[in-house]
Amino acid sequence: MAILDIVTFPDPFLRLKAKQVTKFDSELQTLIENMFETMRAAPGVGLAAPQVGESLRLVVVEYTEAEDEDENAKPKKYVLINPEIIKRSEETLMDLEGCLSLPGLAGKVERHEAVTIKAKNRFGKPLKLEAEDWLARIFQHEIDHLDGVLYIDRAEEVFEPTPEEAEQIKD
């Protein structure tokens, strides 16, 4: 496994719409594992393939629910291939976000409180996920990357976070 280089803003690659994944081969499996390793090393909780220079509709997320945050809790791993948000809650929440492709910045972004996502897993099998709160925010942020959208495009304000704010931001 390898830690990949993260593409950073203002690289125009981040603004491209990623291509559908059509091959679920060993190359894809290696990319998925490398993305998890890269995300952990950064550190972050989500990573989209365009952030590592791959024009593929692929997202990895590793997240521990707030109530599970003890040293024995194992984070849940998600691999979303060709994801689509098929349902969004009417309720929205404003919260801080950061991004591995925009180091040193944070923004206040309004996102849907809950989403339902249709995607394929790493082996090409269909899956449907319902997510709310922070996990829903992570999925929305990462899926935006697949369409060339960055959180700064949606942010009410963008700023350099204080150390306390930086600790609150998990992406």
How far is it, in rounded angstroms, from Cα 81 to Cα 75?
19
Q: Which CATH superfamily is domain 12-168 in?
A: Peptide deformylase (3.90.45.10)
How far is it, in rounded angstroms, from Cα 80 to Cα 55?
14
Residue-level pLDDT at 169:
76
Q: What distance, in Å, lies between the first and last C-alpha atoms of the chain?
A: 22
Question: pLDDT above 90 covers what percent of the chain?
Answer: 85
Task: Tell me the residue length of the chain.
Answer: 171
Phi, psi dihedrals of residue 170, rounded to the nearest 5°: -110, 10
| pLDDT digits 0-9 by tens, 53-66 | 999 999 999 998 76
Instruction: Please state the pTM of the whole predicted model.
Output: 0.93
What average pLDDT is seen over the chain?
94
132: annotated active-site residue = no
How far is it, in rounded angstroms, from Cα 171 to Cα 159?
15
pLDDT at 171 over 70: no
Closest to 103 (Cα-Cα) out of 53, 60, 158, 58: 158
Task: Please identify which of the residues 33, 37, 142, 164 carries the catalytic annotation.
Answer: 142
Residue partners of 77: CB distance under 8 A and separation at least 6: 36, 60, 61, 62
Kindly report the number of other CB atoms within 10 A of residue 93's CB atom.
Answer: 16
3-state secondary structure of 101: coil
Closest to 8 (Cα-Cα) out of 50, 44, 59: 50
